[in-house]
């Protein structure tokens, strides 16, 4: 009986091996492709149970992050009028690290979607440009059906702060995110969203020049409007 069970398990393991090998190969290829662009922070997330208007019929999401440098955080912390100075200089934030890395994340999402499509899979880049081009980005209110931070929350990367941003244990909110939806075979993770750890802290609320933050504690049922004031397309300024 023991021999029969051992043989049965061995048969199942052998039959399952090609599928597992395919998962591992696909994941390795994606990580390798992103590594070429100095991206080390990568995860594969199960989004299959989300509403169709969010996951667009795709079961998986590829999530990657680009941390902001410690030097950049120190520089803007030492300059409380950083945003105002940039505006007055009419630089349009072209040399701003946050802007550059957000652009890089969007470009990499487009690149990765093209790469996966060339491999025979379906893929949808959630870059701002592609969301706008395909009609899935509300330009006026600056929101999309499935934000990167929602996927990052399902990956267990962090929690939502009163600043309406993802807060991670390692990088805080200093992380630019990119996501691609795909049907590529991936071994995914799915975590219950972490409860906010802000407690009574309201530093972000108090420091916001335009008073766009309402100081609400996020929950999975919180609409965006309960967290921030809608400025109809005007982005609240970055102070810290």
Q: What is the CA radius of gyration of the chain?
A: 21
Say if residue 197's pLDDT is above 50: yes
Mean pLDDT of the chain: 85
Q: Is residue 47 part of a domain?
A: yes
pLDDT tens digits, 144-172: 899 999 999 999 999 999 999 999 999 99
Q: Is residue 230 part of a domain?
A: no
- The rounded percent of the chain whose pLDDT value lies above 90 is 61
**Residue 68 near residue 97, CB atoms below 8 Å:** yes
Q: Is residue 202 part of a domain?
A: no
Q: Is residue 221 part of a domain?
A: no
pTM over 0.95: no
Q: Is residue 165 part of a domain?
A: yes
Q: Distance between CA atoms of 178 and 103, rounded to whole angstroms?
A: 10
Domain count, the chain: 1
Q: Is residue 225 part of a domain?
A: no
Residue 142 Rama label (left phi>0; alpha psi -120 to 50; beta): left
Sign for the pseudo-dihedral over CA of 220, 222, 223, 228? negative
**Residue 62 near residue 151, CB atoms below 8 Å:** no
Say if residue 40's pLDDT is above 60: yes
pLDDT tens digits, 75-108: 888 887 787 777 777 667 778 999 999 999 999 9
Q: Is residue 95 part of a domain?
A: yes
Residue 230 is predicted with a pLDDT of 67
Q: Is residue 135 part of a domain?
A: yes
Lowest average pLDDT, out of 1-5, 29-33, 45-49, goes to 1-5
Q: Distance between CA atoms of 158 and 124, rounded to whole angstroms?
A: 24
Confidence of residue 21 (pLDDT cuts 50, 70, 90): low
Which structural domain range is residue 46 located in? 2-195
Residue 8 is predicted with a pLDDT of 47
Q: Is 62 exposed, middle or buried (0-12, 13-18, 19+ CB in 10 A)?
A: buried
């Amino acid at each position: 009986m023991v021999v029969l069970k051992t043989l049965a398990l061995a048969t199942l393991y052998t039959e399952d091996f090609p599928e597992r090998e395919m998962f591992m190969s696909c994941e390795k290829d994606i990580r390798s492709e992103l590594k070429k662009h100095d991206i080390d922070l990568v995860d594969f997330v199960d989004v299959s149970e989300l509403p169709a208007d969010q996951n667009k019929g795709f079961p998986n999401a590829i999530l990657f992050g680009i941390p902001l440098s410690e030097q950049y955080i120190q520089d803007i912390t030492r300059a409380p009028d950083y945003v105002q100075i940039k505006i007055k200089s009419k630089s349009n934030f072209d040399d701003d690290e946050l802007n550059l890395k957000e652009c890089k994340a969007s470009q990499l999402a487009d690149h990765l979607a093209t790469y996966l499509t060339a491999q025979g899979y379906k893929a949808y880049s959630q870059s701002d440009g592609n969301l706008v081009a395909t009609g899935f980005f509300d330009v006026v209110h600056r929101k999309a059906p499935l934000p990167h931070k929602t996927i990052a929350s399902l990956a267990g990367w962090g929690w939502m702060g009163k600043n309406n941003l993802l807060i991670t244990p390692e990088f805080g909110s200093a992380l630019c995110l990119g996501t691609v939806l795909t049907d590529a075979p991936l071994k995914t993770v799915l975590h219950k969203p972490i409860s906010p750890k802000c407690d009574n802290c309201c530093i972000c609320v108090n420091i916001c020049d335009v008073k766009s933050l309402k100081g609400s504690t996020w929950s999975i049922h919180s609409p965006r409007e309960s967290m921030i004031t809608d400025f109809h397309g005007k982005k609240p300024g970055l102070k810290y």
